[in-house]
A and B are shown apart, each in its own frame.
Chain A
């Protein structure tokens, strides 16, 4: 086989395999823009904070007023929530799979895994760049938990039980298989079961 022939074959093969799978990105624009829209409050917050720190006195003054008013509202609401939580503490379940929701759509997602004889349990996923986030079992009952705030989106993850991969979380919305191993999937916010 000549070098030219090899290069042509390589080029046509790479293009053919991408073409054969192009249905997977047919609606990529919509999915990306949806996630951007869902993240927008946080993106704008960063932009807004940048302007706040910028040396423009007029814009800062207006923003400082808004910061003060927002802080007052949060303080007021926070006191209300705290007193409400204290009042119902006895009736509240100790472990709830119902996520806590924030105004920007972010949810406090609870990852739970029973692993009676494990010494270490961690969760890895695309929300933590596949770096380990440890689960804890403070009362030693073999139920390991971690609570992670996640903005709306699709999350692929797996547990590591003493370093061993465990990809089929019973609490997951879906399981996917790649590289011959399972991973779990959860949908948070729009696009998932919470819609």
Chain B
């Protein structure tokens, strides 16, 4: 019913209390928000919970959204802030365990045999510091521009460019180290 309508119409309908319209918005953005949360958190359960929380928080705060702004950037900012807060909490309450591991994602045997490039890259992304991982995820999963990444993470655009450049160098080094540990 809403397929033919544009996003602003859906958002206006959502503001009027039309939850079906908000359901359509969720359907359009849930993959992007979930992928963002998964990339940031490196944990499927957290990504699921935070995606859910992001759409609830966005709906509750929809009145604060300026229709002149790009909706996806606003939504990603909410999701990124939720991820950052949860990671910050985890950092302040260390458990002595490995801080990140992707549950059920990789087969260690394949990593050892250097057969699964995705597994190698997944492990390398997980080892990247959050400050480098987050811009890379927004750039290469969410396809955001430097300016949009800067807006989502509240970091100057120049810093984003630097972090993406350095992040790629670090990632390459980590992949090569995983591929050839000697």
Contacts and interface: CB of A to CB of B under 8 A. Distances in A.
A94 interface: no
B172 A6 contact: yes
B43 interface: yes
A125 B152 CA distance: 25
B59 to A, nearest CB: 6
Contacts of B30: 25, 28-29
Given A6-B168, A33-B19, A176-B45, A25 B27 contact: no
Contacts of A37: 19
Nearest to A46: B60
A32 B118 contact: no
Contact of B100 (A31, A32, A156, A179): A179
Contacts of A1: 172, 175-176
Interface stretch (B1-9, B32-40, B71-79, B107-115): B32-40
Contact of A126 (B19, B53, B60): B53
B76 to A, nearest CB: 14
B77 to A, nearest CB: 17
Nearest to A10: B140
A11 B141 contact: yes
A165 B95 contact: yes
Interface stretch (A12-20, A73-81, A83-91, A140-148): A12-20
Interface in B150-182: 168, 171-172, 175-176
A181 interface: yes
A36 B56 contact: yes
B19 A17 contact: no
A7 B140 contact: yes
Contact of B35 (A15, A126, A178): A15
B125 to A, nearest CB: 7
Interface of A: 1, 3, 6-7, 9-18, 20-22, 24-25, 28-29, 31-33, 35-37, 39, 43, 124, 126, 129-130, 156, 160, 165, 176, 178-181
Interface of B: 19, 22-23, 26-27, 30-31, 34-35, 38-39, 43-49, 51-53, 55-56, 59-60, 85-86, 89-90, 93, 95, 97-103, 105, 117-118, 121-122, 125, 136-137, 140-141, 168, 171-172, 175-176
Given A28-B34, A36-B19, A181-B95, 16 more contacts: A13-B121, A18-B34, A21-B34, A21-B48, A24-B47, A29-B27, A32-B22, A32-B55, A35-B52, A124-B89, A129-B85, A178-B43, A178-B46, A179-B100, A180-B97, A180-B101
List 4 tightest A-B contacts by C-beta distance, closest first: A180-B97, A18-B35, A14-B141, A13-B121
